[in-house]
Chains A and B, each alone.
Chain A
Amino acid sequence: MIDESQGTLANQMSQLSLDSEGLPPPETPWQEFLRIYRKDYQALLGFWVLMILLVTAAAGKVLTEWWVVFDPEVVRLTEKFLPPFASPSPDSVDADRPFGGVYVLGTDELGRDVFARMFQGSFVSLSIGFVAVGISLGIGIVLGGLAGFYGHVKLGFLTVDTLIMRFTDAMMCFPRFFLILTAVALLPPSIYTIMMIIGLFGWMGTARFVRAEFFSIREQDYVVAAKALGIPEGRIIFRHMVPNALAPVFVSATIGVASAILTESGLSFLGFGVPPPYATWGNILSDGKGFIFDAPWLFFIPGLAIFFVVLAFNLVGEGLREALNPKLRRR
């Protein structure tokens, strides 16, 4: 019986129309994404910069805090303001000498090794960027998704959509940086507070974005088809809608990381950021600003680091946008 049905199947297959012949080699969406992304040299450059940064940040955490090779906290008052690549004075204590016997990025006004401080700061800056964006993405996707899918549901005399989106609008009314500044001033200063606050005040754009995506995807024929096939609502949302809504959200998240790093730097620069002894790029910059003519490296090194990282995130975001845009497919 089975043999027979397979026999006819094979028979029918040999008589198939030419319609499904001549396809190009198979390509999953992931492969297609890689193919387009690889062509974009700027985005590729940004990607490698970020990879190096990730490794640096991880190494920074390990080598400055757990297994201290570069100690950012050693104060050497006799060796203030040494320029980059200066050697420590021969009569310094062995334990205070920098790794490799040279101050790669010089020393600051307390004789601390700037390289070690930047190294530690890279982890702080990056983790603030990622955690803050993670928080704002989580809130934004949930609220935006609710408004986009269950928006028409009535709660009393308001719809879910009205409730969520007017709250979002209200949050957007406040100038974000000053809201964060106020919150930081009121709360006990710590790196976790900074992460939380940047995240909690940054979800509005994501929420609007996800809601708009859900609105447009909900009317797509494949979602209507899923409904017509009797597929349960939860599965429609998570299998059919979310995967198609998320690509542009991740693009904006990439750029969001850059803006979170920048916000943290700004806060630290104003003295409201991560409290000492943690070094962050923002507070190195802030400390260095008083010595811009005497020791310009104190100012330019963290400044350039922030500049390149933010640029790299933006380039990657742009590249992702290009590669994930369905209208640019098949180039």
Chain B
Amino acid sequence: MSSVGYMGHNILHEFLMPGNSSQPLLQVTGLKKFFPVRSGVFSRVSAWVKAVDDITLHVNHGETLGLVGESGCGKTTVGRSILRLMEPTAGKIQFEGEDVLALKPRELRAARRRMQIIFQDPYSSLNPRMTIGSIVSEPLKIHKIAKDQELQDRVNQLFVKVGLRPEHQSRYPHEFSGGQRQRVGIARALALNPKFIVCDEAVSALDVSIQAQILNLLRDLQQEFHLSYLFITHDLNVVQYLADRIAVMYLGKLSEVAPAEDLFTTPKHPYTQALLSANPIPDPTAVSKRTILSGDVPSPLNPPNGCRFHPRCPEVMDVCKTADPPLITIGPLDRGHQVWCHLYS
């Protein structure tokens, strides 16, 4: 940025292709979140649960990054740390070039307008003692975005956008079905006009038919508002439908990051392969080659040395038991297919 000409070019670039600049919308570097385990009379910290251990990922403008993994692998912790709903132990989070972890409480409140979250359980994510209208309008009032008639118009529009009837605003959450409540949750997240939304298992608690409706809604909203999603799920079909890129997590670490189609056609990491083979194929005649993993996920209290997947890996080698797996780039660099595995080194 030394010369004016360069800067001018950059601005023009931004102007012509909004949200397509070289810098990603969100860059997470070396994110760690450890939870202390206390024991004894004096509540000494006796151990650490390494829920998230050194995660680096990015989300580009207008794209959906799917984050998959089994229960307890730290997906939700990643999502909540990015939004600073939990304070990460270490790492760097840059949102639109701004260091999220360095924000002071007041700046953080302002920054929250740009990043939002949609929750898994539509039953506990809405305050049972507020009408759905006041749930959606509250953030608009607090951030002084609109008031009086303008506020009412905005809320009406939000309701229509997510497929709810504005005349139901004076009702309470318990009067609605799961799918309808999830729409309220989406309207609330959209109220502040965010650029980035963490969808934390946003459709996992819903019926399959309702899942499809909500997924389509999320996709439509993404196009309309140019949103970026971090889509956290354990459901491969859902990410296949929605995600542009997919990151696979195992026990607090990433094992593979790839464009969605690459991940489904040419999975590299043995864990990814096992995950995909466990996904049912909607064709009774298809013969699938199942990779059955033995054993359970080890406790994050005492994760295995070397590659965390090695005790269950069908392709395990001696080196896996001692050395951390290196980051390997598969194919061309700009394709962004990365795998953390000794097999490819």
Residues of A within 8 A of B (CB): 5, 9, 12-13, 16-17, 19-20, 23-24, 26-29, 32, 220-222, 224-232, 235, 239-240, 243-244, 326, 329-330
B109 at the interface (CB under 8 A from A): yes
B116–A229 contact, CB under 8 A? yes
Q: Is the CB of A12 within 8 A of B110?
A: no
A-B contact count (CB 8 A): 105
Chain B, 208-226, contact with A by CB distance < 8 Å: what is the 0/1 string? 0000010000000000000
Q: For the complex, give the distance between the alpha carbons of A326 and B322 in Å.
A: 52
Q: How far is the CA of A326 from the CA of B127 in the complex (A)?
A: 12
* Interchain CA distance A230-B119 in the complex, whole Å: 16
The 6 closest A-B pairs by CB, nearest first: A230-B112, A221-B125, A230-B109, A229-B139, A222-B127, A221-B119
Residues of A within 8 A of B166 (CB): 13
Q: Is B328's beta carbon under 8 Å from chain A?
A: no
Q: Is B176 an interface residue (CB 8 A)?
A: yes
Cross-chain contact B160 with A13 (CB below 8 angstroms):
yes
Q: In the complex, are the beta carbons of A9 and B142 less than 8 A apart? A: no
A23: nearest chain-B partner, CB-CB: B175
Min Cβ gap A160→B in Å is 15
B138 interface contact, C-beta 8 A? yes
Decide yes or no: A231 and B138 within 8 Å by CB, A225-B125, A240-B127 being known contacts: yes
Cβ-defined contact, A20 with B175, below 8 A = no
What sequence of 0s and 1s flags, for each residue 161-199 of chain B, a beta carbon within 8 Å of any chain A beta carbon?
001111010111011110110010100100110000000
Contact A24 B127 (CB under 8 A): no
Residue of B nearest to A231 (CB): B142
Contacts of A20 in B (CB 8 A): 163-165, 168, 176, 180, 183
- Say whether A17 contacts B143, CB under 8 Å: no
A28→B139 contact, CB < 8 A: no
Does B128 sit within 8 A of A, measured CB to CB? yes
Which A residues touch B163, using CB under 8 A?
A: 16-17, 19-20
- The complex places the Cα of A27 from the Cα of B108 at a distance, in Å, of 37
Q: Give bound CA distance, A24 to B175, whole Å.
A: 8
Q: How many residues on chain B are close to A (CB under 8 Å)?
A: 48
> Which residue of B85, B179, B180 is within 8 Å of A227 (Cβ)?
B85
- Of the candidates B121, B129, B157, the one having the most CB atoms from chain A within 10 angstroms of its own CB is B129
Picked from A16, A226, A229, the residue with its CB within 8 Å of the CB of B192 is A229
Nearest-CB residue, chain B, relative to A219: B124
Asked whether B128 lies within 8 Å of A326 as measured between CB atoms, the reply is yes
Instruction: Give 12 pairs: A residue, B residue, CB < 8 Å, sorted on A.
Output: A12-B160, A16-B165, A19-B179, A20-B163, A23-B171, A27-B175, A29-B129, A225-B188, A230-B108, A235-B142, A240-B130, A244-B129
- In the assembly, what is the distance between CA of A311 and CA of B218, in Å? 55
Contact check, A26 vs B171: say whether CB atoms are below 8 A apart: yes
Q: Which residue of B lies closest to A223 (CB)?
A: B127
User: How many Å lie between the Cα of A12 and that of B166 in the bound state?
Assistant: 11
Does B58 interact with chain A (Cβ within 8 Å)?
A: no
A228→B117 CA distance, assembly (Å): 7
Interface string of B81-103 (1 = CB under 8 A from A): 00101000000000000000000
The reply to whether the CB of B56 lies closer than 8 angstroms to some CB of chain A is no
* CA of A68 to CA of B239, assembled, Å: 80
CB atoms of A9 and B116 under 8 A apart: no
Roughly how many angstroms separate A323 CA and B207 CA in the complex, as a whole number?
29
Decide: A230 and B139 in contact? CB cutoff 8 A: yes
A14 to B120, CA, bound (A): 29
B142-A229 in contact (CB<8A) = yes
A12, A16, A17, A221 interface centre (most CB from chain B within 10 Å): A221
Contact check: which of B127, B129, B165, B176 meets A13 at CB < 8 Å?
Answer: B165
Residues of A within 8 A of B113 (CB): 230
For B29, the chain A residues whose CB sits under 8 A away are: none
How many angstroms between the C-alpha atoms of A232 and B83 in the bound complex?
A: 16
The interface residues of chain A lying within 8 Å CB-to-CB of B188 are: 225, 229
Contacting residues, chain B, for A27 (C-beta < 8 A): 172, 175
